[in-house]
Amino acid sequence: MKTLLKSILFMFLMIPFVLFAQQGMQDVIYLKDGSIYKGIIIETVPNVSYKIKSKDGNVFAVKIEDIEKITKEEGEHHQDRGYHRGPWGHHYMKGDSAKFAPRQKGYFNEVQVLIENVQGGVRMVNGYKFNRFAYLGIGIGVDRVFSNPFNPKVNGLEKKELAGIYLPLYLYHAGDGPTKGRFTPFYAIEAGYAMAFKGFGDSDRNVDDFGNRLKGGVIAGAGLGFKIHSKRHRGHFSLLFNVNYKQVNFNYDQLFLSQGGQVTATLQKDAVGHLIIPGIRIGIGF
């Protein structure tokens, strides 16, 4: 009898500790693409979906076919849960952003709009994220190099305007910095080749305003920027500050003139132009 009473007393005394431990637990949903959601599961539709509510109140819906596993894990420690020491040693709760961890690996897609000093265009990159520091993809796009208003027009012999349409194909590498809430800094590097657009039919679209016949050339670029992740989806908005290099191979006709100013002969010559193009890229990615 005494043993039974001791057991009941022990179980009764352990209740507060068990409850305390449960309060420190949280639901964690791991997706097949590497995404992780932490919080409390508030809705379950059998064989269809789950809804999980993060600590700051955001609700995420995930489909059952995207889930790798669901676990209960110990929550963050006191300081990690948003408590910060304020003046005079008091603690306060800081408003935290979504407890959504960007996926660690998986396929990614990025669409960018170029807004640069003498160039505009659209780029699209598809690839695979191996880890936080290793995005690797292939990019394509359409670039439009505009006439440089700060470079005076002289003539076709001296002026190398190189304005035209280019079709880039390039390798893309990027990596992420530490994520703070929904904000992630990142870097990007690219290198490839851009072909001058020759148009369709009999039109010769790869000739600039000064008669230079554009052929295209090597391209490269590097930049630093940041991503802002969506609260309810796996997409993000990005802003990249970058500098591009564009090599343009072209040829032109050198004219030989008589004393009277008449063209007596022409000689086709090859040349190489170099463009350094700073600017920004606004993107949407998944």
pLDDT of 12 reads 46
In-domain check, residue 245? yes
In a domain, 8, yes or no: no
Radius of gyration over every alpha carbon of the chain, rounded to an integer in angstroms: 30
CB neighbour class for 95 (10 Å; exposed up to 12, middle 13-18, buried from 19): exposed
**Is the pLDDT higher at 53 or at 75?**
53
Evaluate if residue 188 carries a pLDDT over 70.
Answer: yes
SS3 sequence of 209-237: CCCCEEEEEEEEEEEEEEEEECCCCCCEE
What is the reported pLDDT for 117? 85
Q: What is the pLDDT of residues 206-261, one digit of tens each?
A: 777 677 888 889 999 999 999 998 876 678 999 999 999 999 888 887 777 777 77
User: Which domain-ending residue is among 67, 101, 135?
Assistant: 101
pLDDT per position as a tens digit, 131-171: 888 999 999 999 998 876 555 443 343 445 688 889 999 99
Instruction: Please tell me whether residues 95 and 34 are part of one structural domain.
Output: yes
Instruction: Please indicate, yes or no, whether residues 41 and 173 belong to a single structural domain of this protein.
Output: no
**What are 74-108's pLDDT values in tens digits?**
765 444 444 333 333 333 334 443 445 667 788 99
Number of H helices, E strands in the chain: 1, 16
Structural domain ending residue among the three candidates 60, 81, 101: 101
175 shares a domain with 157: yes
The reported pLDDT for the residue numbered 174 is 97
86 or 285: which leads in pLDDT? 285
Residue 203 and residue 245 share a domain: yes
Confidence (pLDDT) at 235:
86
Are 83 and 223 contained in the same domain? no
Per the structure, the count of domains in the chain is 2
Q: Residue 3: inside a domain, yes or no?
A: no
Kindly state whether residues 72 and 120 are assigned to the same domain. Answer: no
Band (10; pLDDT cuts 50, 70, 90): low
Residue 224 lies in a domain: yes
CA distance 247 to 120: 16
User: Quick one: 177 and 202 in the same domain?
Assistant: yes
Residue 265: pLDDT over 80: no
CATH number for 214: 2.40.160.20
The answer to whether residue 75 sits within a structural domain is yes
Give pLDDT, residue 113.
97
Average pLDDT, the chain: 78
Distances (CA, A) of 137 to 13, 106, 143, 171, 189: 58, 12, 19, 6, 11
Residues 30 and 154 in one domain: no
Indicate which CATH number applies to the domain containing 55.
2.30.30.100
The residue that leads in pLDDT, 89 or 60, is: 60
Check whether residue 111 and residue 179 sit in a common domain: yes
222 in the same domain as 181:
yes
- Residue 17 in domain: no
Boundaries of domain holding 85 = 25-101
Residue 193 scores a pLDDT above 90? yes
* Model confidence at 6: pLDDT above 60: no
- The rounded distance, in Å, linking the Cα atoms of 97 and 180 is 8
Q: Tell which of 35, 70, 101 closes a domain.
A: 101
Sequence-ordered list of residues with C-beta below 8 angstroms from that of 45, at least 6 positions apart, any chain: none
Q: For the whole model, what pTM was predicted?
A: 0.63
Q: Identify whether residues 112 and 244 lie together within a single domain.
A: yes
Residue 20 counted as domain residue: no
In a domain, 4, yes or no: no
